[in-house]
Structure 1
Amino acid sequence: MPRRGENIYKRKDNRWEGRYIKGHLPSGKAQFGYVYAKTYQEVKRKLIEQQALYCQQPELVQKQHVSFSVYCDQWILLNRDRVKESTWIKYRNIVNNHIKPHIGQYTVQKLDAVVLESFSHTLLVSGARNKEGGLSAKTVKDILVVVHSILKYVQRNTGKQCPSFQMIYPKQYKKQMRVLSKEEQERLIAYLLQEMDACKFGVLLTLLTGMRIGEVCALRWQDISIDEKTIHVCNTMQRLQKIETRWTSQKTRVLITEPKTESSNRMIPLTDYAVALCKQCYCENQSAFVLTGTEQFMEPRTLQYRLHKYTADCGLSEVHFHVLRHTFATRCVEVGFEVKSLSEILGHSSVQVTLDRYVHSSLDLKRKNMNKLAAIGF
């Protein structure tokens, strides 16, 4: 059976066939063209290419109401080699799970501010189609950004005049991030030092450097220089959705790549305490992963499970891996860390990101700063 609305079929000879409109007869009846390939993904790519050629012929487009869904497919296809694979998969899921089911049937001219406001409200209230629970304001904004990019693509490449309006994004409320108190941090460190293995060492190293979970999972001993007292963060690990799952039961795969941005590829100086821990756990095999001590990696979700066990044993709750990163940033601020240096150590693109998202002053630090007013008689 074809997927709904795709006009893609599997033939009896095991090839895939796609059908597209290539023109119209004087009577207005559509004329169809066909593409063939050995795989579903290949025939879909050919089909989108043919649809793109059709949509770039104004005299044909005027006779056919091309849906926004067609332009979504074109935009996804054209961006496949322009962005990182993880970003492209995110775009594709946004288009297939949210944009096309809700507004894919509209023509571009019908996508005005009212339609998109209704679309945004639906996502906030009920989320994806046929699923309960609304999406977060941040997720809805990401979806609307993709819609805006597709509309700009349509106007730039087809000459279609898109409705002129300002995209309105839902208001985002800043969520207070969990940060370990000094007592909680000391309790966790004491636990990790007891019978410390490679995984506990990796968690402790994160608390001392602020690395992301994917960066820790991809860290090898060749990235740590004990002599220079540095860690070179040059890779990250993530589990990505597989593009083609028709012939396999595995829907995801683990991928190790360079960090997403240039600022994330960075050198982190180590304290003497961190260097001493590195010497204690040092592995002669430079290709070995830090978290395992072998050339077999530990993926992020496994590390997250381990951290949950560690924190539960310590009596700590609501501690996921990013809490360690926020805690590191907060401790740095408390000791008077220069913000520009902290931003580079965390791998942020700007100081503002560090200040807005990762710096959390403790009540003790706020009280200490308030007490400075006593010096001027307040």
Structure 2
Amino acid sequence: MQQIITPTDAAHKPLGNSSARECLSMLRRICKYAAHLRLIRPIELEVALPKAIDKISAPLSPAEQQRLHQYVQANPTPRKIGLLLGLELGLRIGEICGLQWGDFDLKLGTLKINRTVCRISCGNGHTKVVIQTPKKPHLPPGNSTPKAAAYYAKKLCGSAGNAAWFLSGSESKPTKPRCYRKSIKGNHSNFSITQMEDTAF
């Protein structure tokens, strides 16, 4: 395993922290299943993982912000409006995923941040998506929605119920932050949103 993560023979480039963790997690599952079938004895794997490198994204320039507004205006969708909420209100990606239509007061033009969607470790190599209270109250209970975002939200609201999730439009489950991040990167890669995951703009 260590040879795969950091090969001494230069067979391939060393793995990053995320890839190494995924490999270790998969290997642990294999060993656990093999032990369950009594093919091997239960073992505990300890591997030195590469250090995670914190990437600091530069804020969008005024020209990039204008391009983002034009991008949303061309074909507004909840996912694109979420970018404006992150840009102008400093919402984290998990908080955008945690928005429901009932959090918007479209008459007063205010928005309440009541929850965040995040993925946590279960302690056994597995993770799960949970809904929690926001990390910190960086916004007052009722915060003015950016005019552009409020305008587009009014056009898209339709007959959506208060319990419907803003991004998915469904009442059953919210959009996962990872899925939201991938969809944005896939649709429009010119705007960096990695900073929305853990910190505000």
Report the TM range for the smaller structure's normalisation.
0.5 to 0.7
Unmatched 5+ stretches in structure 2: 1-34, 36-43
Corresponding pairs, count: 159
Q: CA RMSD in A?
A: 3.4
1:191 to 71, 76, 97: 71
What is aligned with 1:240?
120
Query: 1:208 touches 1:274 (CA, 8 Å); kept in 2?
Result: no
Question: How far does the alpha carbon of each residue in 1:216-238 deviate from its partner, in whole angstroms, 9 at most, with x for none?
Answer: 00100111111222110010110
Find out whether 1:289 has 2:165 as its counterpart: yes
More helix by proportion, 1 or 2? 1
Instruction: Give the direction of change, closer, same or farther, for the CA distance of 1:186–1:306 in structure 2 (3 Å limit).
Output: same
Counterpart residue number, 1:221:
101
* Other-structure match for 1:258: 133
Measured after TM superposition, the shift of residue 262 of structure 1 is 4.6
Q: Contact conserved, 1:202 with 1:216, CA < 8 A, in 2?
A: yes
Give deviations 1:88-110, integer Å, cap 9, x for gaps: xxxxxxxx99xxx7xxxxxxxxx
**Secondary structure at 1:237's aligned position in 2?**
strand
Amino acid at match of 1:255: V
Aligned-pair distance for 1:189? 2.1
Partner residue of 1:130? 48
Q: Does 1:272 align with 2:147?
A: yes
Deviation of 1:265 (Å) = 6.7
Largest Rg, 1 or 2: 1
Q: Structure 1 stretches of 5 or more lacking a match?
A: 1-9, 11-95, 102-128, 139-174, 246-250, 327-345, 347-357, 359-378
Cα distance, 1:270–1:134 mapped onto 2, change above 3 Å: closer
What's 1:308 paired with?
A: 185
How far does residue 305 in structure 1 lie from its aligned partner after superposition?
0.6
Deviations along 1:310-359, whole A, 9 cap, x unmatched? Answer: 332xxx26x12426998xxxxxxxxxxxxxxxxxxx6xxxxxxxxxxx6x
CA distance in 2, matches of 1:234, 1:292: 17
Q: Percent identity?
A: 24
Q: Is the 8 A contact 1:235 1:265 kept in 2?
A: no
Q: Which SS does the other structure have where 1:254 is aligned?
A: strand
Matched with 1:322 is 195
| Counterparts of 1:290 and 1:191, CA distance in 2 | 19
Contact preservation (8 Å) 1:236, 1:258:
yes
In structure 1, how many angstroms separate the alpha carbons of the residues matched to 2:147 and 2:80?
Answer: 19
Q: Distance in 1 between matches of 2:99 and 2:117?
A: 9
TM-superposed deviation, 1:244: 4.9
For residues 245-300 of structure 1, what are the alpha-carbon distances to aligned partners after superposition, in whole Å with 9 as ceiling and x for unaligned?
6xxxxx22110011233556743212433321221121431111111222231100
Q: Which secondary structure state, in structure 2, belongs to the residue aligned with residue 239 of structure 1?
A: strand
Counterpart of 1:371?
none
Q: 2:30 maps to which residue?
A: none
Structure 1 pair 135–258 and aligned structure 2 pair: CA distance change class (3 A)? closer
- In structure 2, C-alpha distance between the alignment counterparts of 1:269 and 1:297, rounded to whole Å: 23
Alignment of 1:136-175 (within 5 A): none
Match of 2:13 in 1: none
Instruction: Find the residue that maps to 1:228 and give its secondary structure.
Output: coil
Give the corresponding residue for 1:148.
Answer: none
C-alpha separation in 1, matches of 2:188 and 2:52: 29
